[in-house]
Amino acid sequence: MFKNAKYLTRRVQLEIPVELQIFMWSCIKSVPEPDYLQIFKLESMKTMQKITHEQEQSPFKREYLIPTKRFITAKVYVIDDGEHSTMLLAEEY
């Protein structure tokens, strides 16, 4: 899973900094048994960006704190349909 062509929606391109996009793609590589749906919750924690990465099947949850100058609050899905992996905002689903 997630070894196919990667795509972003226009809103992800506009609203999520490239550094966070790259970070989320790399987080998926660390999941032992990735499910087709990866969930990222982005929120501000004073001086750090908190990223909670989860999946429901083969339960997995990991939290990260990374320094950033631009804080984002959003829920991001990354979906693998077998041919493509697409990163989109939850409200675009």
What three-state secondary structure class fits 63?
strand
Class of domain 5-92: alpha beta
CB 34 within 8 A of CB 1: yes
Question: What phi-psi label fits residue 2: left (phi over 0), alpha (psi between -120 and 50 degrees) or beta?
Answer: left
- pTM reported for the whole predicted model: 0.94
Domain ranges for the chain, please list them. Answer: 5-92
For 19-43, the pLDDT digits (tens) are 999 999 999 999 999 999 999 999 9
For 31-74, the pLDDT digits (tens) are 999 999 999 999 998 889 999 999 989 999 999 999 988 899 99
Task: State how far the Cα of 49 lies from the Cα of 19, in Å rounded to an integer.
Answer: 12
